[in-house]
Chains A and B, each alone.
Chain A
Amino acid sequence: MKIAVLSGKGGTGKTLCAVNLTAVSPGSIYVDCDIEEPDGHLFFKPKTIQSEKVTVFFPKINALLCNGCRKCVYFCRFNALAMVHNCITVFPEVCHACGGCAIICPVLAISDGKLEIGVIDDGTVSAIRIISGTLNPGRESGVPIINKMAKMIENTQDLVFIDCPPGSSCATVESIRIADFCILVTEPTRFGAHDLEMVHELIISENKPCAAILNKIDSSDDPSETYCIEKGIPIMGKIPYDPELGRINSEGLVAAWEKESYKIQFAKILSRIIEEASHETVANPKR
């Protein structure tokens, strides 16, 4: 089963939950899809890491073959190519790596220049596999990295936790694509509830079953909980606002490995999630 952990707003506790749920599931796989700032590896400190570079298509022009027809220039809907003095100029930041220019070129003057956009680290710690994608600074889209990580785990029978990027943009959509179940980590703020709604709408549009973990709970009203109740999102657990948990987490330690009470807390949440998710899979076998 593949469980995506997401939140909408950043800082609600996605990584806290994804890391600690993984930590109480030996034999599972943790996939960090928060490619702009992957930080799950800081907690797990995996060993025997294999790194693989991720490249995307980038038009490499053979000026000797180019006949100046400009078909590539007018094909590119992002206008990443232009022609001056019969020479094609490529704008790497504008290119979306679709490869269409190479297909449209009648004289095969465009080949794949393979632009490196990031790296995937694959390591292990305590019988847990840690896959972590990192997008190079300055690159616009990390979707190819996420897709490549998804390919690496699509056929596994192991339990997988996907730590998703914040927000509800393309990177998040791609991160939940292979998930069987989504976990929404919420915080008791209006901002958190607002972004929870955005990401919940995304999950509905992607036709994924979901449940919530309410994080940083205190005595005040929780607009995120209100939203979950209104929308019938099952609540898998409530994590109280806890300075000690915050301290352990801020030191880059896995709370469930540091203290028995946290281990029990996350194991309880996990068993509820597994139960809920298997109900969903039975009710909706197509998923």
Chain B
Amino acid sequence: MKIALPILNTNNGQSIGPSFGRTSHFMIYDTLTKQSNVIENTAMELQGGAGIRAAQIIIDLQVNVLICPQCGENAEVLLKKANVSIYRNNGTDIFENINLLIQNKLNSLDDIHPGFHHSR
């Protein structure tokens, strides 16, 4: 199983970031190999549709589960189509959340927001 998390680089190391589409990096963790890999989110700087592009990146990496605090509705539509499950993180510690997910202790993210799309 491949898990994706939006991550934030802080003074105390890395933690789960507050945003999905506009996060600077994603961590991809593979439960089979127990390997983690940090990738840049090239969607971050996009003028619009960052959530859509970020979801495309996650989907193309064959991720099965996304752990994040919030997700926009366009991204959710795509992730759902690709059968990516979305779970809400509990706290911001990356590996604690991965363990909670494996123990089936995370709740699915069901309050999808309509997006923060600015008008043209």
Contacts and interface: CB of A to CB of B under 8 A. Distances in A.
Interface of A: 73, 76-80, 82-85, 89, 91, 93-94, 96, 140-141, 169-170
Most-contacted residue by chain B among A89, A140, A141 (CB, 10 A): A89
B66 interface: no
Interface string B85-97: 0000000000000
Contact of A79 (B52, B59, B77, B119): B52
Q: How many residues of B sit at the interface, in one of the four size bands?
A: 10 to 19
Given A82-B78, A84-B78, A141-B120, A91 B49 contact: yes
B117 to A, nearest CB: 8
B120 A82 contact: no
B84 to A, nearest CB: 10
Nearest to B54: A79
A23 to B, nearest CB: 33
B59 A84 contact: yes
A82 B59 CA distance: 10
- Main SS of chain A's interface residues? loop
A23 B53 CA distance: 52
A78 B48 contact: yes
A79 B120 contact: no
Given A91-B49, A91-B74, 12 more contacts: A79-B48, A79-B50, A80-B49, A80-B52, A84-B59, A85-B81, A89-B81, A91-B52, A93-B74, A94-B48, A140-B119, A169-B120
28 contacts: A76-B49, A77-B46, A77-B47, A77-B48, A78-B47, A79-B43, A79-B48, A79-B49, A79-B52, A80-B49, A82-B53, A82-B59, A82-B78, A83-B56, A84-B81, A84-B82, A85-B81, A85-B82, A91-B49, A91-B52, A91-B74, A91-B77, A93-B74, A94-B117, A96-B120, A140-B119, A140-B120, A169-B120
Contacts of A84: 59, 78, 81-82
A27 B46 CA distance: 50
Interface in B28-84: 43, 46-50, 52-53, 55-56, 59, 74, 77-78, 81-82
Contacts of B48: 77-79, 94
Contacts of A170: 120
A94 B74 contact: yes
Given A89-B77, A89-B78, A94-B74, A82 B119 contact: no
Contacts of B52: 79-80, 82, 91, 94
